[in-house]
Amino acid sequence: QATPFIAGVAVAATALAGRYGIQAWQAFKARPPRPKIKKFYDGGFQPTMTKREAALILGIRENVAAEKVKEAHRKVMVANHPDAGGSHFLASKINEAKDVMLGKTKNSGSAF
């Protein structure tokens, strides 16, 4: 008599576990999707800008074509231009980042 009872309890436990598993999976699928927010460079500028730092500022890889550098520079500059309420310091750093990426710098650092 104990064997059918134990089998019944095992079947009931399996059914409950399956039910909760299905509910958890449905709740997981129904959750709102997380937006993929692009992480921007936090700052903390170095005295002399490196190519890595310039790429982080512009949001590009270190080894990209000049057209991509100019496109990224324009996009970041539009958002941070002093005439549109941006900072002169940030604009100078963005311009310096473009110059570093294009190889037009004398390693002089920022004017600020």
Give the closest residue to 79 by CA, choosing from 41, 46, 35: 41
Instruction: Give the predicted TM-score (pTM) of the model.
Output: 0.57
pLDDT, tens digit, 9 for 90 and up, residues 35-82: 766 666 566 777 888 898 899 889 899 889 999 999 999 999 988 888
Helix (H, G, I), strand (E, B) or coil at 106: coil
pLDDT in tens, 4-40: 889 999 999 999 999 999 999 999 999 887 776 666 6
pLDDT at 95: 92
**Residue 82: what pLDDT?**
87
Average pLDDT, the chain: 85
State the greatest distance between any 2 C-alpha atoms of the chain, in Å, as a whole number: 91
Q: What is the dihedral of CA 58, 63, 65, 67, to 10 degrees?
A: 0
Pick from 96, 53, 98: nearest CA to 72: 98
